[in-house]
Amino acid sequence: MGVTILLSYPVPENKTGPQTAELLIKRIGALGAVQSGQFLVDCETFSSGPTMGGPPRTVHVLHNSEQPAAVFALLESPGPPPKTVPLVADGLFDLLMLKMSSIYASKKQTRMEARGTRFEIADFLVKIGTVTMSSNFKGVLVEVEYRPCFIAGNCWELMREFMQSFLGSVVQNTPPPYFQVHNRLNDVYQPLDTIQQYLDHFASYRKVAGL
């Protein structure tokens, strides 16, 4: 599992989302990328009913096609202090959530998906995907993974240069906000970090009303 940076690519005014994705695909193809399948990251949200007592808690259940055997779950409890508890579990966790439908009810409208193609260039893995929330287009997400390294701080410069080559000035010169807290730049990178980045982006997309 290499270091993965997730970027939201702003859709220009005169273009639609799929067109933007096509454009990016053309650019990465020009660099010599080889297409190697599709990818899918989806997120389903469950919120606790009144039977639990206290302020309502939410559980986000995410799946990533890169780790097909795993299910990621993040529990956000707002009670002071607000904390997020992450969990990596086997595929049976989905069935467990189904059994708990009386306690944790799923909000089907807020199901978010990032779907697209994955490309391989040398040591990099690039995924260009469109984010949809119950078939409404929300945005374009670009995920870049540098496979050999698993400490973000060591390869941030290299990744920034690579990303700027095909994404342009959208890429900032400072690391993304996810990496700037808790000394994450010097920690070993886990698949859970990718999922948390996805969750942050999905949350920001949810706040944007209607598109």
Partner 1 sequence: MSAYSVNISVEAPVENQIQEITYDGQEIYTPPLTMSEHLTKLAQKIDFAKCGPEELNKEITEIDKNEDEAEQSTAPPLWPWDSVRNKLRNALTEVSVLADVLSIAKEKHYMVLDPVPQEPPELKPMVQVYARKKALAGAASVLLSGADRLKNLQAEALRNRTTPDFHIELLRLRQNFRLKKVSNSIVGDLSYRTAGSKFAQNGTFEVTKAEEDGDSPLSPPCSPNASLSNKPTSALRVTVPSELQGVAFIKVFFQKDQDSLTAAQLNLPSSSTANAIPDMYWQPKLEAAQNVLFCKELFNQLAKDAVQLQSPIPHIVVGNQIIASVLPGIQLVIGLCHSGVSTDGKTAVVPPSSNGHDHVLEHSLHQLLRELHHKNTHHPFPHPSSGPIGPSKRRRLAGPCAVDREELMQMTQSETMLEQVIKQAQHINLRDRTLFVLDRLAKDIKDPLITSHWNALNSPTQSCVKINIVAHMYDTICRTSLLIHVNETTLKCITRDGRVIHMSYESQELRDFIMCQVYLHQMTAVQNLAKCMGWQCLANSAQLGVGAVEPFGNASSCVLASPTGERLISVRCEPKSGVHVTIAQSPRKDFFPGQLVKERKWENLGGSFKEVRWDKMEGKNFLNKMELLMASLTSS
Residues of this chain that interact with partner 1 (CB under 8 A) are 1, 65-72, 88-92, 190-192
CB closer to partner 1 out of 76 and 120? 120
CB closer to partner 1 out of 165 and 190? 190
Q: Minimum distance between the CB of residue 1 and partner 1, rounded to whole angstroms?
A: 7
Q: Minimum distance between the CB of residue 57 and partner 1, rounded to whole angstroms?
A: 22
Cβ proximity of 41 and 60 under 8 Å: no
Q: Minimum distance between the CB of residue 72 and partner 1, rounded to whole angstroms?
A: 8
**How far is it, in rounded angstroms, from Cα 187 to Cα 94?**
29
CB closer to partner 1 out of 65 and 110? 65
End-to-end CA distance of the chain: give it in Å, rounded: 34
CB closer to partner 1 out of 96 and 170? 96
> Nearest CA to 193 among 2, 21, 44, 54?
2
Q: Minimum distance between the CB of residue 193 and partner 1, rounded to whole angstroms?
A: 11
Residue 67 phi/psi, 5-degree rounding, is -120, 80
Q: What angle do CA 128, 39, 19 make, to 5 degrees?
A: 35
